[in-house]
C-alpha cells in the first residue's frame, strides 16, 4: 500500500519552489509582440521552456513543439493517457493587493496570477507523475503530459500540437474542479457590430466607451468620455448611481470632457453572476442621459439587451437542457468611438440543443436594428460529455472518494478545458468543493494544502489508469 499523501507531503517544499518559478513568469498570450521564434509571445514560450526544463532535469523525455506546446513522456505501452494542462494565464488586471507575478503565501493561501488556473494544478499533476517515476512502479501504458500555451484565448498552441503529434487515447485536464467534470457546455463568443451612420451630434455626446480585457473575463472596470452642455450635476449623479449599485465611481473633467470610470468585480465568464459587470452598469447610467443618436444607440442596446441578463433572455437565446443546464451569456469587451465601427463581444456557454449559428441569428433578430448584426468571433467549441459509467470517470471518482472520504458525482460546467479535446477526456480538479472560485479574478489564490492534496490524488489516479 502506498501512502500517496505522505509521498506528496515530503515533496511539498520542492514543489512550491518549482511552482514559484513558474508563477514569476508573466505568460499571457502576446501576439502583438510575437516573432518567428515566439508565435504566441515570449512569455508563454518561456513558461513552456521552464516546465520542460524541470522535466528534463528530472529524467523525463520531453518535446517542444514550435514554442507553442510541449510534451513530457513517461512509461510504455499501446495506449496513451493524456494529461493536458496550460502554462498561460489571463491578464493580471487591476485590484491586486500583492504583486501578481511575485507569489506570496498568506494565511496558507498562495497568491499569484495563475496559481489556481492553471499553474498550481499543473505542478501538482507534474509532481504526481514524478512520484510514480520515483517509486519505480510498474506501468502498462504511456503518459503524455501535454502543455498548451494559449488555453485562455484561441487554443492555437494545442491545435498545432494535435496537427503534428499523436492524440492520446483518453485523459484528463487538471484545470477545473473535483470530484470531476465529465461534461462541458459549448463555448462561443459573438461579435455585435454597430455600423457607423447615425448622427454623432447632440447636446450631450458620447466620445468614447471602453471596457474589457478578454472575452472570457467579466470586465471589472469601464470608462466613458462624454461632453456637452448642462452637465453640472453629472459627477454627483454618477457617484450616487455607483453607490446605489455597489460599484466604485471616479469622475474627472479633462479638456471640457467628463471621464467617467466604474469599478465592479471581475470574474470568470462561465458564471456572470459571480461578478459585477462594470460596462453594463456604465451603459445603463449613460442610457439615462440624452446622448447623440449613435452614442445613445450603443448604450441603449447594452442596457436593453445585456445588463443583468446572465441567461440571455433579452437576446432571445435562453436555453436549458436537462443534462447540461442553462445557457449563460457574458458581455465582456466593449469599444465605441464616434464615426467608427463599434462592437461588443459576448461570451456564451451553451448546452446541447442549440448551435452557435442559431445563437448569432437570434441575437441579430432580438436587437432588430438594420445597422447592428451579430456573428461568431473566434473558436467555437461544441458541447462535450463523457458518460458517468465510462471506466475513466469511474476510476477518477473512486480515487477521489478514497482519498477524501467524500462522495463523488458527475458534474457539467460552463468552463472549457483541454479535456474536451479527447473523445474520452474529462477535467479532474484541482479546486475542491466548497472552495471560493477566484479564477480570472484579482487576488487569485490557491490554498497550499489543496495543491499538496491534489498532488496525492493525481498520483494515485494516474497510476490506477496506467498500471
Secondary structure (H, E, C), 247-306: CEEEEEEECCEEEEEEECECEECCCHHHCECHHHHHHHHHHCCCECHHHHHHHHHHHHHC
Averaged pLDDT for residues 295-300:
98
Arithmetic mean of pLDDT, 47-56: 98
Region 322-329: mean pLDDT is 96
Determine the CATH number of domain 187-381. 3.30.70.360
pLDDT band at 387 (very low <50, low <70, confident <90, very high): very high
Cα separation, 221 vs 285, whole angstroms: 14
Kindly report the backbone phi and psi dihedral angles of residue 453, in degrees, each rounded to the nearest multiple of 5, phi listed first. Answer: -60, -40
267 φ/ψ sector (left φ>0, alpha ψ -120 to 50, else beta): beta
pLDDT at 44 (0 to 100)? 98
For residues 192-198, average pLDDT = 96
Give dist(CA 426, CA 353) in Å, integer: 21
pLDDT at 127: 98
Average of pLDDT values for 387-395? 97
**pLDDT at position 72:** 98
What percent of the chain has a predicted confidence (pLDDT) above 90? 97
Domains of the chain by residue range:
4-183+384-466, 187-381
4-183+384-466 belongs to which CATH class? alpha beta
Q: Give per-residue pLDDT as tens, 131-149.
A: 999 999 999 999 999 999 9
* Whether the predicted pLDDT of 99 surpasses 90: yes
Task: Please list the active-site residues.
Answer: 88, 151
Mean pLDDT for all residues in the chain: 97
pTM for the structure as a whole: 0.88
CB of 467 closer than 8 Å to CB of 133: no
211-236 mean pLDDT:
94
Pairing of strands 412-413, 183-184: parallel
Indicate if the pLDDT at residue 464 is higher than 90: yes
Mean pLDDT of 159-183: 97
pLDDT band at 426 (very low <50, low <70, confident <90, very high): very high
Q: What stretch of H or E contains 373?
A: strand 372-381
Mean pLDDT calculated for residue range 288-307: 97
What per-residue confidence (pLDDT) applies to 169? 98
Pairing of strands 217-218, 267-268: antiparallel
Residue 82 has what pLDDT?
A: 98
- Between strands 342-350 and 186-194, the pairing is antiparallel
Q: Cell numbers of 115, please?
A: 496559481
The pLDDT of residue 255 is 81
Percent of the chain with pLDDT over 70: 100
Amino acid at each position: 500500500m502506498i501512502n500517496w499523501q505522505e509521498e506528496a507531503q515530503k515533496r511539498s517544499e520542492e514543489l512550491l519552489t518549482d511552482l514559484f518559478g513558474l508563477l514569476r513568469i508573466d505568460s499571457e498570450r502576446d501576439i502583438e509582440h510575437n516573432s518567428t521564434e515566439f508565435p504566441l509571445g515570449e512569455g508563454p514560450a518561456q513558461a513552456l521552456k521552464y516546465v520542460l526544463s524541470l522535466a528534463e532535469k528530472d529524467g523525463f523525455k520531453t518535446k517542444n513543439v514550435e514554442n507553442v506546446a510541449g510534451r513530457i513522456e513517461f512509461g510504455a505501452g499501446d495506449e496513451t493517457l493524456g494529461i493536458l494542462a496550460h502554462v498561460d494565464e489571463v491578464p493580471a488586471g487591476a485590484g491586486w493587493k500583492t504583486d501578481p507575478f511575485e507569489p506570496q503565501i498568506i494565511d496558507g493561501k498562495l497568491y499569484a496570477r495563475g496559481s489556481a488556473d492553471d499553474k498550481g494544478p499543473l505542478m501538482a499533476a507534474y509532481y504526481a507523475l514524478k512520484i510514480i517515476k520515483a517509486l519505480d512502479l510498474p506501468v502498462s501504458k504511456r503518459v503524455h503530459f501535454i502543455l498548451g500555451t494559449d488555453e485562455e484565448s484561441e487554443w492555437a498552441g494545442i491545435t498545432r500540437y494535435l496537427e503534428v503529434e499523436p492524440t492520446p487515447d483518453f485523459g484528463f485536464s487538471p484545470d477545473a474542479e473535483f470530484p470531476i467534470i465529465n461534461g462541458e457546455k459549448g463555448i462561443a463568443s459573438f461579435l455585435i457590430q454597430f455600423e457607423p451612420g447615425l448622427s454623432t451630434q447632440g447636446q450631450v455626446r458620447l466620445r468614447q466607451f471602453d471596457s474589457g480585457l478578454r472575452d472570457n473575463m467579466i470586465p471589472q472596470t469601464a470608462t466613458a468620455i462624454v461632453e456637452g452642455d448642462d452637465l453640472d450635476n453629472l459627477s454627483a449623479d454618477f457617484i450616487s448611481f455607483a453607490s446605489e449599485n455597489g460599484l466604485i465611481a471616479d469622475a474627472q473633467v479633462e479638456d471640457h470632457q467628463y471621464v467617467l470610470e466604474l469599478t465592479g468585480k471581475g470574474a470568470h465568464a462561465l458564471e456572470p453572476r459571480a461578478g459585477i459587470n462594470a460596462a453594463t452598469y456604465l451603459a445603463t447610467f449613460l442610457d439615462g442621459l440624452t446622448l447623440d443618436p449613435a452614442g445613445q444607440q450603443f448604450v441603449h442596446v447594452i442596457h436593453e439587451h445585456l445588463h443583468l441578463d446572465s441567461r440571455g433572455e433579452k437576446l432571445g437565446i435562453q436555453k436549458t437542457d436537462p443534462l447540461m443546464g442553462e445557457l449563460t451569456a457574458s458581455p465582456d469587451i466593449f469599444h465605441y468611438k464616434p464615426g467608427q465601427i463599434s462592437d461588443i463581444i459576448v461570451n456564451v456557454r451553451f448546452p446541447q440543443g442549440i448551435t452557435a449559428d442559431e445563437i448569432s441569428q437570434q441575437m441579430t433578430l432580438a436587437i432588430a436594428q438594420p445597422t447592428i448584426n451579430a456573428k461568431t468571433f473566434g473558436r467555437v467549441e461544441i458541447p462535450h460529455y463523457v458518460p458517468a459509467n465510462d471506466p475513466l470517470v469511474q476510476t477518477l471518482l473512486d480515487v477521489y472518494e478514497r482519498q477524501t472520504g467524500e462522495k463523488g458525482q458527475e458534474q457539467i460546467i460552463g468552463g472549457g478545458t483541454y479535456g474536451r479535446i479527447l473523445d474520452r477526456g474529462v477535467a479532474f480538479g484541482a479546486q475542491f468543493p466548497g472552495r471560493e472560485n477566484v479564477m480570472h479574478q484579482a487576488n487569485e489564490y490557491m490554498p497550499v494544502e489543496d495543491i499538496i492534496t491534489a498532488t496525492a490524488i493525481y498520483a494515485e489516479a494516474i497510476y490506477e489508469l496506467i498500471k
